[in-house]
Structures are given as C-alpha cells and as structure tokens.
Structure 1
C-alpha cells in the first residue's frame, strides 16, 4: 500500500520469451516491477523459463502458451488477460524465425567456435551466416507468417486491452528490415509512403514477394536477395508499426533493433549479449508517458522515421 492506495503495477506480454532476447526482456521488465506474461510456443520450455526467472528472484512472471500464427492460441491469451487483469500496458512482439536454415558448409570450413568468432568483425560474422544459410520456400513462408502476420494478429487481438491503458507496443525489428536492402526504388517508396500505404497493400506486396520467391525471380522483382524473407517481413512489420501509430495516436508504437545478438537465430555469431540486446528493447518499453510513437530505435537511439 502507498498512502492508502494500491501501487500501480504495469502488465506486459512478451512473445517468444523463453530464450535469447525475449527471455532477457522478461527478466529486465520483471526487475523493473512489471508483471510479465512470458509466452512461448512450447509449454515445457516456457514453464522452464519462468521457473528459472523465479529461482533468480523474479516472482512476478507468469507463463502462458502462445503460438502467434494460431488464432485460437491468441484468443486464449486475450481471454486470460481480460479475466486476470482487464488491461495490458506493454506488448513486446519478439517472436520470430530467421527465414532460412543454418547449414554446415564444408567449403567455408567448420562452424566457428566462440573463440574464432571473437576474432571476426561484424561483417565477417554476417558473411559466415550468409555462406552457411540455405533459403527455401517453406522457411520463407514461415518467416512471413510469423514475423509479420503473427505479430499483426497478436497486436490486433490485444489492441482493446492496450487502448484501455497507456498502451505501449514494441516490435522487435532488425537493421536488416531497413529499406536500403530493397533493390526496387518503387518498393522502397511504397513501403515508406505511410500517407498512402494501407494494410491491404502490405498484404498484396507480401503475396507478390512469395510468388517471386517461388518463381525464382526475387532479384528481378527488386526484393532483397540475401536473407530475403527476414528482411522483407521485418520491413513490412516496420511499415505496419507506423500505420498503427497513425491509426491509434493514444498508443506508443515503436520498433527497436536490438543489434546483432548472440542467439540461436544468429548461430551465436552476434556481437552483443542477449542482456545488451534486451536492454535496448526494455529502454523503449519503459519510456515516459507521451514519448515518441511510430519511431525506429537502434544503438544510436531514435533514428529516422523513414526506416530507409
């Protein structure tokens, strides 16, 4: 009790919270006296993550199963939040897939050890990732469904709860989602023109990308050719975030690039620790009321809203 009233405790949902950046976001939010609903596809892994956090002294963490591409799973989470809390203050959309498979490429030598990675700069590490990545249509489609449509479905379902509070939506993005990776100037202009862009047009563009990927015409279509699905899906999510910020000015909707982090997604080739990447996300989640919206944050802070 504080002066006869109950202290206000913020409620946060973190998708993909059982490991890596998501786990760190959960830990750091819980350390800031936020009640955290840690979500994960796999119940056993999610439960284990919550147990680990509680053993570290973070009692205000709750597990709830969530598959971001499954409407019924999203509805169950929404119903839980309505019944248990009646509102949502922070949504961190972190769940994602890499859009390609990491493979051991004998021509590039064996997978580097952590010691060998430490002798490589960022460019060399990304080159290793590229040389040891194999793109497929199934992985590409999964990335679009998870990284864009999954994020969108979860967000739209939880909007009423966020609008009943000082809602914050933080979409974990990547420098790979910047429009400079697109070869087509027309695509760049469309994705950057928030005054004309619509969600329906975003869907059409993603359909066109998948058709081009299936036909082997990604380069001719003006799309990114390296880590294609990841870059396209993150660029679409960045654009959607700006559309959402314009549609709901009372919300704070921002994108955060946590940096090149050592996680399973990067084959542990990253330059930053999950703690460092998670801290960037949490800093934006906890910005004071009335802060920026529709913005992109990276290591330098708030960057150009054009995401170019």
Structure 2
C-alpha cells in the first residue's frame, strides 16, 4: 500500500504545483491524525489548498491518500518536524518556490508533555471510548492525571514542541504570511493554557502581555524548567498538574498576542478545540475530532479584518478571556 500511496500523492502534488490557481494556501502542522487531520479535511472542503505536514512521511502520505479518497484532491503532503530546524527550512523553501506566499498557518502539532504510566506503544491497547462513557469531564481529566507522571525529560520535550516549535515554524513562515493579502495564524491552544491555573499573581501579570516580549517569555520558560528540575513548581506558583503542558500553552497564548501587536496586518489568534477524543487524551475526551476541528477552522476562516490577538473557546468558538 505504501508504494501506491506515495505514487498517487506524488502525482497529485506535481499537478497542483504546476498548474492550478488557488484562492488560499494553508499549512497545518501535525495534520496526519486527530484534530489536525480534521482541520485539513474541513479546510480542503472549504476550497483551501492544504499543505498537510507530519513528522512521519508514511503516515502523512497515507493521510493525504485518505483525504483524496474523500474527494478532496487539493491536499499536499510535506514532511515537518517542528523541533528540527532543517525540516522547518525545507518546508519554508518548498512553500516559497511553489506558491510564493502563505495565507493560513495552523500550528496544531503538540505533545502531552508527560509520560504515560500505561504506555500504549508498549503493546497495551488504547482505552476505548466506552471506558469513559459514565465519567464527566472532571473524572476523565482525573483519570488522565492518575495514568501519567511528570518527568523533567517529558517537560523539556513538551516546551520544545509546544512552544519553541510553534515559535520557530511561525518565524520561518512569517515572510510568506506577510506576502499574503490576508495572512492569518491560528495557534491551537487549550483551556489548560488559561492563566487561572497559575498560583502566582506575579506570573499571571507577566504572562498578561502588557510589557512582555519574546525574550522575556524565553526567560520565564527557562525559569520554569529550573524550578521543575528542583522540585519547586508548586512553591514558585506554576501550575501543579500537567505543568509543562499548561505553561507551554499559556506562553503560546502570550506569544500570539505579542505577535498580533507587532504585525497588525496579520490575524493572529488562539483556538481551543476543547477536550477531544485523540491519542493524546487516550480517547478520554468529550468531543469528537470533527467538533474540535470545526472550532479551529472557524477561526482560520474568520472574515477579513476580523479579530486578532484573541482567544476563541471550544464548541461555539466565541471570543473569550485568556484568564
């Protein structure tokens, strides 16, 4: 199957880059499964040409093949690891050479920033949806917490992917976004990134953007990792549970507002897809990937000159507070 997938995708990509005039070009990171796959599907269904990216080439190509089978041919695969500078550079070069611009960037790729106690990749089955059917949202989150552990290695990798990765891919593609007449960035965030999870008022004030810049954000994240390694997360006022994930998402939210202020010609927003049933949540989520993806796509397709520097919540996709 892999050969057939690669051949079909390659043929379609050649057709796209040689000939067709398209209205909008979008890049979706982590697009081969879950919310990212749904964002690709729904954007493509809206007539957007989508560059679906994934770390694994086989899985990415298979995702494009699946979308093509659904009658959505205007989807292109390109390999991307958001933690790899060379991989990011290759994607930027591809977009510049083929399209000369980028209209929509959806920063979706993320990891849980924890280690699972019962790791599915060790041969154990992923829990099914039925396991959680009698649990409410709080009980499901509690189950997740009881079945993971926080380690320094996982926390560091979480920040590298969920914050640094977003920052680096955005910086690399920024010239292409500014070449668009209506460039927009959607950073897929989480309710876990709200400032209410921080115990320190000083940290909340720092992350509330007024006097914040990227350099200070990097300093704050370095301080978090030092506190994490020293076992001082709670004492210093950082979130206690799912610490690295919450800190990375809060930092991404802050960075989004800094960028929105710096580049008023762009629409830079954060979209919370909600608690979605994915591999990351081990199927414990309350929402289907289609529902989570719909919120992200609604923000990606906001009217021209719409809001910027805003947070859109799950479900209805209404603009709300970062706190």
What pairs up with 1:4-15 in 2 under 5 angstroms?
8-15=22-29
Tell me the equivalent position of 1:25.
39
Is residue 302 of structure 1 aligned with residue 318 of structure 2?
yes
TM-score (norm 1): 0.94
What pairs up with 1:146-295 in 2 under 5 angstroms?
146-165=161-180, 166-192=182-208, 194-295=209-310
Distance 1:111 1:96 in 2: 19
Check conservation: 2:22, 2:49, Cα contact below 8 A: no
CA-to-partner distance for each residue in 1:187-230, whole Å, 9 max, x for gaps?
000100x2311111000000000001111110111100100000
Per-residue deviation, 1:114:
2.1
Is residue 93 of structure 1 aligned with residue 107 of structure 2?
yes
Q: Which runs of 4+ in 1 moved over 6 A?
A: none
Distance 2:129 2:25 in 1: 37
Check conservation: 1:295, 1:302, Cα contact below 8 A: no
Per-residue deviation, 1:111:
7.9
Unaligned runs of 5+ in 1: 1-5
Check conservation: 2:127, 2:283, Cα contact below 8 A: no
* 1:171 match: secondary structure: strand
What pairs up with 1:41-52 in 2 under 5 angstroms?
41-52=55-66
Alignment RMSD (CA, Å) = 1.5
Counting matched residue pairs gives: 297
Distance 2:301 2:177 in 1: 15
Check conservation: 2:299, 2:317, Cα contact below 8 A: no
Is residue 125 of structure 1 aligned with residue 125 of structure 2?
no
* 1:271 match: secondary structure: coil
Check conservation: 1:102, 1:267, Cα contact below 8 A: no
Distance 2:255 2:128 in 1: 38
Per-residue deviation, 1:9:
1.6
CA-to-partner distance for each residue in 1:118-166, whole Å, 9 max, x for gaps?
1111011001001111111111001100000000000011001001111
TM-score (norm 2): 0.89
Check conservation: 1:241, 1:255, Cα contact below 8 A: yes
Per-residue deviation, 1:57:
1.0
Unaligned runs of 5+ in 2: 1-19, 120-124
Is residue 68 of structure 1 aligned with residue 82 of structure 2?
yes
Tell me the equivalent position of 1:3.
none
Distance 2:21 2:97 in 1: 20
Distance 2:126 2:59 in 1: 26
* 1:170 match: secondary structure: strand
* 2:269 match: secondary structure: strand
Cα separation, partners in 2 of 1:147 and 1:111, compared to 1, 3 Å:
closer
